[in-house]
Amino acid sequence: MPGLGTLYGRGGATTFLMDLQHADLILIQGSNFAENHPVGFRFVTKAKERGAKVIHIDPRFTRTSALADEYIPIRSGTDIAFTGGIINYVLQNEAYFKEYVLNYTNASYIVDERFADTEDLDGIFSGFNAEKGTYDAATWKYELEETGGESGEAAGSAKDAQGDGTSPTTGGHAEHGTKRPKKDETLQHPRCALNLLRKHFSRYTPEIVERITGAPREQFVELCKLVVANSGRERTMTYCYAMGWAQHTVGVQNIRAAATLQALLGNTGRPGGGIMALRGHASIQGSTDIATLYDLLPGYIKAPSLERGEDTFEKWKKNWANPTGWWSNWPKYAVSQMKAWYGAAATAENGWAYDYLPKNTGDHSHQPMFFTMKDGGIEGLILWGQNPAVGGQNAALQRAALGRLKWMVCQDLFETETAAFWKREGVDPSTIGTEVFFMPSAAIAEKAGTLTNTMRLVQFHEKAVGSPGDARSDLSLAHQLGKRLKKLYAGSTRAIDRPILDMTWNYDSDDPHERERGEPDVEKIMREINGYVVETGEQVKTFVDLKDDGSTAAGAWIYTGYFPEKDKNLTRRRKGDDWVSLEWAWAWPANRRNLYNRASADPDGKPWSERKKYVWWDEEAKKWTGLDVPDFPATKPPTFRAQPGSKGMDAHDGTAPFIIQEYGVAEIFGVQGTVDGPFPVHYEPRESPVPNFLYPHQQYNPVLKEWRRRDNPYHAIGDPKYPYVLSTYRLTEHHLTGAMTRWNSWLAELQPEAFCEISPELAVELGIRNGDWVTISTARGEVEAKALVTGRIAPFKIGPKQWVHQIGMPIHYGYQGLVTGDAANVLPPLVADPNVSIHEAKAFTCNLRLGRRGPAHEGPTWMPVPADEQTPLGKPERGGRVEAGTAQTTDDAIVPAEVIMAGAQREREWEQRENLIERTEDTESEA
């Protein structure tokens, strides 16, 4: 999550769940903590028992609100306005933690005079390229000192690719050389980061917060007071978020807003403080670490990209190996990774087999990939535990895309909707050419392996029972694929086959039974990920020992240390205590539980207070010590001062806790990483019934990714055809698309049918009674569900006249399994945050009517898309300057009359068929 990464250095949650019990105040926003993370919520209830206050800020009153001390309603998609309002309150009242802010953030750093804020340019930052719909980040820089290191180059020459959304999320301003930024430690300079922040959020007053978010003003001000009272030397506050923040076109900036606030209040790196990022499901943290994202290699090493001109190892290295800060170690991690993958074939001469690595040529994230697939640009797909036919946005489009594949391999526990897409309602299987291979998979208890949970904790689990029949672990499929590809290419002399022939692939299990079933040995893979000395085969103990000369190999440097000896798997450990539990499993990096914990001590290395003592400098032993593994060079004293021109970690003072960052401080002015601006800005969601009150000339994120195609139509701003706001979400009783839970009778009975939650006010307006069938529609399709009329949903009063109705619908249902129902994800459009390409499922517009839907409900996905609207591989489309008054209407995507007629014709055919079936049944029963 670059939201955290750009501010603090690492993308992981800064704290751990058990630490929540030491918070004095817990804010939960953009998360239904109790429902979706019930086990972790234990520590929120523990905190409450200890007297902490828990506040839930959400569009819906959920089971989390039920347990909170206070619930504050906000309109979906207005979180930045809310958090920005708190930031403004803190700054206006000079209530920030001065010593922390001055020493541990870039508040005093002076920003380039060419930088212009959204307040200056009416909703956009300097560097906006209206034609491309992207930013050039050249002016989002510090003003550098005149003298510096010998390698200092001209400042401000931002990488050309930065404006293309492929800019570095970590590291990436090597052009600064070792020159240091100018500072004003009196915080008086109008262009110091703090004063720019002050100006940026100055209009986020309680009145405006209420106007935009609908949260009652008095309640908001009370909250601000509570936040201030529970931060500082003696007290700390934790901010918790989840998908409710991520799934927006401003997803990353939602998180940045909270990270900024926590930096100002001095809560990060301290016990009971920080940001608790709650991941969507088991090991989603692990799958980002060991990397399922198209633009990352394991350990958050950016995948090579030709867009950035990284066609040789040297160019790649130049872009990512920072001269200062932790990323100065980048070459050690990258080279060790290549050694782990290609063994002896990776040499200094061939750039560590750099040519073997695939190079990105564009945006290959999920959404553009499915557009390309639908346009016939992709032949085959292997899916492990993913169910895009239900879980994908504009799900009908994604189902249609699957039908354009030549082949698809789907490994899952049950025949999911995706595996069965070719026989869904309204589809004639004979018209689909995709060959589907369904591979039954082993469930978690049927295989050994690790899960990396929401707090970066890697936990090993043993295989408890054998898997039934032909079911195999997911790993076994990957393992066998590798083995058989190697066999297939054996003896080839072609250069293009070398990556397969040279890749190390020695994971066969030593257990004859497992080997016979084709299962690999998980611990062999773990040993490689941890890393070893190439010459001796000895395990590497810490990532500090990794080398850039090819003498060490390690699959993912952040995991180095979890398997420090041949038979010592630290993730098996199960010795816990009631708090930090350093001997329970292993957390990356280096088993640290609370990141940036150097910040729990003052600049002199002493705890800020006895009550919040955590990690401190032991003057006698001359090292850092405390309750956690110090997140700092172990023997670097607080008095250490960097000399001009020094490199690597020596360029950081002994007071700089954010060791990954270039200057060791939290960056409240984001000079790196985010492509949509150095500060969070309130923009409306892509689809909203409300104009942007702050910036009438910029309705939504100007650089969001969108795809204007007739099979992915967007609603106009305030479109009267789609007046309501819909959020999709999850329930405790089901998991994701229900692929595991809707097949289990004990879980299915708890939430047996698709439903949507509506307010009593809307129910009265539309004549809907509790339990009635209703149809929810968007331009993408329509779904039916039972209405659950509840006071937990309330309309929002926005401004003097407008009422906004909120509707909620769980995403769990599909057409396979014990219990079935329509998939809510048929409704949202494909549109994405520009930083991480995440979709916007938490706020989009829809219509609602009483009654059931017709048979053809999948919207315009089957319409032929003309060539000029198609999506070639890797090419995202961008947003741009959009005024609130201008219609980006549904009608913009013109639907030809004959197409509509064809749709109606299909509906009629369906009705006739249904009637026929009914009649046949009647005759049969009579006979």
Which residues of the chain form contacts with other proteins (CB under 8 A)?
34-35, 38-39, 41-42, 45, 49, 51, 61, 63-67, 70-71, 731-733, 745-753, 755, 770-771, 786, 788, 790-792, 794, 818-819
- Angstrom distance (rounded) from CA 317 to CA 335: 10
728-749: buried (b, 16+ CB within 10 Å) or exposed (e) per residue? bbbbbbbbbbbbbbbbbeebbe
Q: How far is the CB of 46 from other proteins (least distance, A)?
A: 9
Q: How far is the CB of 110 from other proteins (least distance, A)?
A: 46
Alpha carbon 509 to chain centroid, angstroms = 34
Nearer to other proteins, 42 or 483 (CB): 42
CA distances to 139, 496, 562 from 525, rounded to whole Å, are 45, 25, 12
The two tokens of residue 81 are 């306005």
DSSP codes, 841-859: -SSEEEEEEES---S--SG
Nearer Cβ to other proteins, position 47 or 110? 47
Q: What's the rounded Cα separation, in Å, for the pair 489 and 622?
A: 57
Structure token digits, residue 499: 């990556």
CA 185/CA 193 separation, integer angstroms:
11
Rg, the chain, Cα only:
27
Closer CB to other proteins, residue 64 or residue 285?
Answer: 64
Whether the ω angle into residue 589 lies within 30 degrees of 0, i.e. cis, is yes
Looking at beta carbons only, is 49 or 610 nearer to other proteins? 49
User: Considering the complex, what minimum distance in angstroms separates the CB of residue 803 from other proteins?
Assistant: 13
Locate 757 and state its tokens. Answer: 């939650």
Minimal distance, residue 431 CB to other proteins, in Å:
32
Minimum CB distance to other proteins smaller for 750 or for 916 = 750
Asked if 238 and 274 touch (Cβ cutoff 8 Å), the reply is yes
- Smallest gap, in angstroms, from Cβ of residue 690 to other proteins? 21
CB 463 within 8 A of CB 448: yes
Query: CB-based contacts of 652: which residues, under 8 Å, 6+ apart?
Result: 324, 325, 642, 659, 663, 664
Q: Residue 605 or residue 810: which is nearer to other proteins going by CB?
A: 810
User: In the bound complex, what is the minimum distance in angstroms from residue 925's beta carbon to other proteins?
Assistant: 24
Closest separation in Å from C-beta 774 to other proteins: 12
Rank residues 282 and 378 by Cβ distance to other proteins and give the closer one.
282
We find the least distance from the C-beta atom of residue 770 to other proteins, in angstroms, to be 5
Q: Which is nearer to other proteins, 46 or 315 (CB)?
A: 46
Of 66 and 917, nearer to other proteins (C-beta) is 66
Burial of 348 (0-12, 13-18, 19+ CB in 10 A): exposed
Both tokens of 31, joined, read 């998360």
Q: How far is the CB of 133 from other proteins (least distance, A)?
A: 41
Residues counted in the chain: 927
The residue among 179 and 742 lying less far from other proteins, judged by its C-beta, is 742
Residue (229 or 503) nearer to other proteins, CB? 229
Strand partners, 460: 450
Closer to other proteins by CB, 540 or 747: give it.
747
**Cβ at position 807, least distance to other proteins in Å:** 16
Which of 69, 511 has the CB closer to other proteins?
Answer: 69
Nearer to other proteins, 60 or 447 (CB): 60
d(CA 710, CA 690): 24
Question: b/e string for 614-623 if b means 16 or more Cβ within 10 A?
Answer: bbbbeeeeee
Query: Measured from the CB of residue 22, what is the shortest distance to other proteins in angstroms?
Result: 17
* Number of helical (H) and strand (E) elements in the chain, helices listed first: 25, 29
Structure tokens that stand for 819 in this block: 């219990």
The nearer residue to other proteins, 63 or 211, going by C-beta atoms, is 63
Q: Which residues are paired to 71 by β-bridges?
A: 56
- Residue 344 backbone phi and psi in degrees, to 5: -65, -20
Residue 202 Cβ vs other proteins, minimum distance, rounded to whole Å:
30
Instruction: Give 324's DSSP letter.
Output: B
Q: Output 52 or 155, the one with its CB closest to other proteins.
A: 52
Tokens of 18: 């058990």
What CA–CA distances, in Å, run from 763 to 749, 809, 823?
26, 15, 22
In the chain, the amino acid numbered 7 is L
CB of 855 to other proteins, least distance (A): 22
Exposed / middle / buried, residue 154 (Cβ in 10 Å: 0-12, 13-18, 19+): exposed
Shortest approach of other proteins to residue 901 CB, angstroms?
36
Half-sphere exposure of 468 (CA within 13 A, CB side): 4
Smallest gap from Cβ 790 to other proteins, in A, equals: 7
Q: CA separation (Å) from 835 to 81, 84, 158, 216? A: 20, 20, 17, 32
Nearer to other proteins, 346 or 788 (CB): 788
Distance of closest approach, residue 65 Cβ to other proteins, in angstroms:
7
DSSP state of 142: B
Residue 67: CB minimum distance to other proteins, A: 6
Tokens of 412: 């899952």
Which amino acid would we find at residue 879?
A: G
What's the rounded Cα separation, in Å, for the pair 84 and 94?
Answer: 15
